Amino acid sequence: MMQEWRNGRMDMPPTINPPTPPGVQPTSPPPGLPLDMPSRGPVDNIEALGTTNVPSTDQSNIYCISVIGQVEGHVVLPPQNKTTKYEHLIPQLVAVEQNQSVEGVLIVLNTVGGDVEAGLALAEMISTLSKPTVTLVLGGGHSIGVPIAVASDYSFIADTATMTIHPIRLTGLVIGVPQSFEYLEKMQERVIRFVTAHSQVTEDKFRELMLKTGELARDIGTTVVGPDAVKYGLIDEIGGLAQAIRKLNEMIASAKSKNGSEVLQ
């Protein structure tokens, strides 16, 4: 590399940028942004800060939220685990409620469960949104994913998707005193009460599925496949992405007509 002294300083040879591949338009940073500072999008904000601005829907009036992997709660899971951090979803739900351009919310689940209180907090927030909400279970909506799946106004499950219903379990050190088991029972009652209040399943049937023996090799509980989830009343309908979006659009149109009639009155 050749260097040359000019006016008391050493000049480096100019950097040669690689040629742009055919058919690819060259990109340039937004006006006013330094060349060495890339623009930060909503996904980068969520990953770096755990929050986001009011969701930008561009040309869509539907905002999509995904719950995948394991619901991470008060304890940080190992980096090799695929997780959904509940502190990342809470500000998104708050922003959705405040954004006037968002008219409906689609929640897509493929989760193995996770932290009970974190999952229940997400379910409680979804159930209290004023805008139409639809959940879609793809692959699986297990454990604490069940309350999240039933928290919306209407729910779908894929024909081959499954939901595992089992009692609450604790990890780590458990003090063997009656108070510990009473606390566990109260937490389990919270989950049962929420699920039965936001779906068509009866409390007796849900307890039967939760405490069933023999189906799970090393645990008690039941694995419910899509059609059975609808038969038991956990989920409203069998369907996929197209059916979920179609139903959500119908609910948005119904909400608009209802609001319009209230204004005329």
Return the active site residues. Answer: 143, 166
CB 163 within 8 A of CB 157: yes
- Supply φ then ψ for residue 238, to 5 degrees: -80, 135
H-helix or E-strand spanning residue 155: strand 154-157
Question: 169 near 181, Cβ under 8 Å?
Answer: no
Q: Token pair of 142, please?
A: 């297990």
Backbone angles phi and psi of 155, in degrees to 5: -130, 145
* Sign, CA torsion 73/78/81/82: positive
DSSP three-state, residue 96: helix
Handedness of CA 117, 55, 59, 127 (dihedral sign): positive
Spatial neighbors of 99 by CB under 8 A, at least 6 apart, are 54, 55, 57, 63
Nearest to residue 11, comparing CAs of 19, 21, 20, 1?
A: 1
Identify the CA nearest to 167 among candidates 117, 202, 201, 211. Answer: 211
Q: How crowded is the C-beta side of 31, counted as CA atoms within 13 Å?
A: 0
Residue type, 77: L
Instruction: Say if CB 124 and CB 151 are below 8 A apart.
Output: yes
